[in-house]
Amino acid sequence: MVDTEPAAIDVEGLRMRYGSVDVLRGVTFRAGRGEVVALLGPNGAGKTTTIEILEGFRTRSAGRAEVLGVDPAHADERWRARIGVVLQSWRDHGKWRVRELLVHLSRYYAPYATPERPRPWDADALIRAVGLTEQAGKKVRTLSGGQRRRLDVAIGLVGGPELLFVDEPTAGLDPRARLDFHALVRRLADEHRITVLITTHDLAEAEKLAHRILVLSGGRIVADGTAAELARRMAGEDEVRWTLDGERFAVSTPESTAFVRELFARHGAAVAELEVRRTSLEDTYMALVREQEQGAAR
Amino acid sequence: MNTAAGRAGWSRGAIEFRQSFTNGADLTAHLLWPVLMLVALWFLRDREFGDSGLALGTLALPGILGMNVAMGMVSMSQHLTADREDGTLLRARATPDGVRGYLVGKVVSVGGGLLADLAILMVPGALLIEGMRVDGASSGLTLGWVLVLGLVATLPAGAALGSLFASTRSQGLVQLLVLGVISISGVFYPVTSLPDWLQGVAQVFPIYWLGLGMRSALLPDAAAAVEIGGSWRHLETAGALGLWAVAGLVVAPLVLRRMARRESGSTMAVRRERALQRVG
């Protein structure tokens, strides 16, 4: 996909240092318009720091950052109106009613409407889209965890953003609410061509949600590509297990198919309990992160 | 641009004001204090202060009203701390012009709440206590400017306090300090019965001046005899409250901006962890 528009996010050599600790040591990546990108990494890898710098909530130590063509450290309210942030909320606005809160927050965006981008979005349509119609008149604090998350998404979208930041979206959600949430984000991104940057420590989630995955580890982007590309690039060895005359064997090999053919050619029917386990993306991801951490420790 | 945020702020304030009168906990907070004060006034209504011919209850009611206005400082400060802790302020920061709207809303809801509390106390108080001077124009005028100046003197200062004292726990300290100041500000008992140096301390804070202003609006002129210098000292009242107002209006935006800049998802998360540990 060749995109002639400038990138939604363009980051180069981003560094963040707290005291003597380097949290980010040169993060570089781009996200095109309309792309859903997952920033994947273990806890403490610097995902939240990265996203907070891009949201304009935190000042970087060094490097270049452009979000929608503007440096977030010096961005104004006009830029703020083009960004949606889904906060890891807790209990803010608990006394407010769902619709009341959404309508209220939408009002701030009206002065920033442009012919191409009508702002804000209609609160009722949004409530329908995130499936909270029945809860529209309820107080926010009475919502379940999943409903609250969906309200957070609605709040992030109410200004008609061109770019949406979502930090650890499904932490603390049950599997059902998680699936609903994934579907919601995918659908919204597809329908409205919003660029989405999501942070997660869950590989399965990144795989399901994102067009592209960035693996952040040790303060650097260590891999960048689609799930399939990552699996191919990081392809490790498959594991083959079998028994021969009651004795157990296990071998790791990059060419499991050829290995098994050879195995049968040599031993024929004596081979039993054959098991071939292909390296999952999970395994390669874990290997990648472990490698990085050991490298950093050395 | 700013007019939309201003209007949103007003409606935010109106919504929060309504909320505070439609849920049990907040309603109790609104009513508890006035009821306690009215009970205290009832017992003070026949006790005379020295040989001034004035009942203590008569002297105390305006003082309590003035103190209530000054308590706006505490409630503003508490609101800010709570809103920071639960993420309301971060939400405002993520919205264009949101912090401005938030502040307008806070002033409207806290200021409105104060005025409502004032009415809740003043109306039954005036019926209960004899010797109040309610002679329309002039007392209304005095009441008006003392109230407005008092709110401008205390609300921004309260917002500044709220940004400086970050945790709910340190808010307890603020409250303790304010209670200390109240006890020396001549609210329940004329300040002239205190030692000179304490009178000096009391005159640094707006609580004394608000009480004095209220007494000057609601009591007959003869009651000025028990005040410092035997006068209502309107000029000094305006001056002292004016100084607090200017200081608050200068300092509050600075510390508020600094505080808002520091808000982010991870600082929220840290606070959440801490608070959950406290609960669990």
CATH architecture classification, A9-231: 3-Layer(aba) Sandwich (3.40)
Q: Is B50 exposed, middle or buried (0-12, 13-18, 19+ CB in 10 A)?
A: exposed
pLDDT for position B234: 92
Residue A43 has pLDDT above 60, yes or no: yes
Query: Does A172 touch chain B if contact means CB atoms closer than 8 Å?
Result: no
Q: What is the mean pLDDT of residues A103-116?
A: 93
How many beta-carbon pairs below 8 A join chains A and B? 85
Query: Are B240 and B203 contacting, i.e. CB atoms less than 8 angstroms apart?
Result: yes
Residue B26 has pLDDT above 90, yes or no: no
pLDDT for position A89: 65
Judging contacts by C-beta atoms under 8 Å, the chain A residues touching residue B269 are 48, 88
* B112-163 tens-digit pLDDT: 999 998 888 888 888 887 777 666 677 889 989 999 999 999 999 998 888 8
Residue B235 has pLDDT above 90, yes or no: yes
Query: Does A259 touch chain B if contact means CB atoms closer than 8 Å?
Result: no
pLDDT for position A76: 92
Count of C-beta atoms within a 10 Å radius of residue B166: 17
Smallest CA–CA distance from B10 into chain A, residue: A104
* B152-174 tens-digit pLDDT: 999 999 988 888 887 777 888 88
pLDDT for position B135: 65
Q: Which of A122-126, B61-65, B174-178, B276-280 has the highest mean pLDDT?
A: A122-126
Per the CB < 8 Å rule, is B86 touching A78? no
In a mutagenesis test of the B interface, which of A90, A109, A201 is the best target, namely the one with the most B β-carbons within 10 Å? Answer: A90
In a mutagenesis test of the A interface, which of B264, B271, B272, B278 is the best target, namely the one with the most A β-carbons within 10 Å? Answer: B264
Query: Does A110 touch chain B if contact means CB atoms closer than 8 Å?
Result: yes
* A129-182 tens-digit pLDDT: 888 999 999 999 999 888 898 899 899 999 999 999 998 877 777 788 788 888
Tokens matching residue B67: 């103190």
Judging contacts by C-beta atoms under 8 Å, the chain A residues touching residue B263 are 57
ipTM: 0.83
Q: How far is CA B244 from CA A274, B136, B202, in A?
A: 83, 28, 14
- List of residues 6+ apart from A150 with CB closer than 8 A: A130, A131, A132, A180, A181, A184
CA distance B87 to chain A (A): 5
pLDDT for position B34: 85
In this complex, the residue of A58, A77, A90 whose CB is nearest that of residue B86 is A90
User: What is the rounded CA–CA span in Å between residue B130 and residue A263?
Assistant: 107
Residue B280: pLDDT band (50, 70, 90) is very low
In this complex, the residue of B16, B87, B98 whose CB is nearest that of residue A90 is B87
Q: What is the mean pLDDT of residues B20-35?
A: 85
Per the CB < 8 Å rule, is A91 touching B96? no
Query: Are B138 and B88 contacting, i.e. CB atoms less than 8 angstroms apart?
Result: no
CA distance A8 to chain B (A): 18
Residue B78 has pLDDT above 70, yes or no: yes
Query: Are A180 and A7 contacting, i.e. CB atoms less than 8 angstroms apart?
Result: no
CA distance A228 to chain B (A): 32
Nearest to A158, CA basis, from A188, A138, A179: A188
Q: For chain A, give the mean pLDDT.
A: 87
pLDDT for position A205: 87
Query: Does A152 touch chain B if contact means CB atoms closer than 8 Å?
Result: no
* A249-290 tens-digit pLDDT: 888 887 888 889 999 999 888 888 898 887 777 777 877 777
| Chain B residues within 8 angstroms (CB to CB) of chain A | 1, 4-5, 7-8, 11-12, 15-16, 19, 23, 83, 86-88, 90-91, 93-98, 101, 263-266, 268-269, 272
- List of residues 6+ apart from A163 with CB closer than 8 A: A8, A9, A67, A68, A82, A83, A84, A194, A195, A196, A197
Give the amino acid at B190.
Answer: P
Q: What is the mean pLDDT of residues A218-231?
A: 86
In this complex, the residue of B8, B19, B96 whose CB is nearest that of residue A81 is B96
Per the CB < 8 Å rule, is B15 touching A104? yes
Per the CB < 8 Å rule, is B266 touching A90? no
Q: Is A257 exposed, middle or buried (0-12, 13-18, 19+ CB in 10 A)?
A: exposed
Nearest to B175, CA basis, from B29, B84, B70: B70
Residue A117: pLDDT band (50, 70, 90) is confident
- Segments of chain A assigned to CATH 3.40.50.300: 9-231
* B87-109 tens-digit pLDDT: 898 999 999 999 889 989 999 99
* B247-263 tens-digit pLDDT: 988 898 888 878 877 77
Per the CB < 8 Å rule, is B96 touching A159? yes
Query: Does A167 touch chain B if contact means CB atoms closer than 8 Å?
Result: yes
> Percentage of chain B with pLDDT > 90?
31
CA distance B91 to chain A (A): 8
The CA-based angle A31-B94-A210, given to 5 degrees, is 30
In this complex, the residue of B1, B95, B266 whose CB is nearest that of residue A111 is B1
Residue B5 has pLDDT above 90, yes or no: no
Helix/strand/coil (H/E/C) assignment for every residue in A202-263: CHHHHHHHCCEEEEEECCEEEEEECHHHHHHHCCCCEEEEEEECCEEEEEEECCHHHHHHHH
> Percentage of chain B with pLDDT > 70?
95
In a mutagenesis test of the B interface, which of A43, A87, A108, A155 is the best target, namely the one with the most B β-carbons within 10 Å? Answer: A108
Smallest CA–CA distance from B96 into chain A, residue: A77
In this complex, the residue of A91, A93, A111 whose CB is nearest that of residue B4 is A111
Q: How far is CA A122 from CA A136, A155, B158, in A?
A: 13, 11, 36
Strands A271-277 and A238-244: antiparallel
Tokens matching residue B279: 């609960």
User: What is the rounded CA–CA span in Å between residue A123 and residue A106?
Assistant: 7
CA-atom Rg of chain A in angstroms: 23
CA distance A261 to chain B (A): 53
Residue A3 has pLDDT above 70, yes or no: no
Query: Are B52 and B133 contacting, i.e. CB atoms less than 8 angstroms apart?
Result: no
CA distance B260 to chain A (A): 9
Per the CB < 8 Å rule, is B266 touching A80? no
Per the CB < 8 Å rule, is B272 touching A80? no
Cis peptide before A120 (omega within 30 of 0): yes
Q: Which one has a higher pLDDT value, B221 or A165?
A: A165
Query: Does A73 touch chain B if contact means CB atoms closer than 8 Å?
Result: no
Hey, which residues does A27 pair with through a beta bridge? Answer: A14
Q: What is the mean pLDDT of residues A104-123?
A: 92
Domain ranges within chain B, ordered by starting residue: 2-279
In a mutagenesis test of the B interface, which of A76, A92, A98 is the best target, namely the one with the most B β-carbons within 10 Å? Answer: A92
pLDDT for position B1: 47
pLDDT for position B11: 96
Per the CB < 8 Å rule, is A52 touching B264? yes
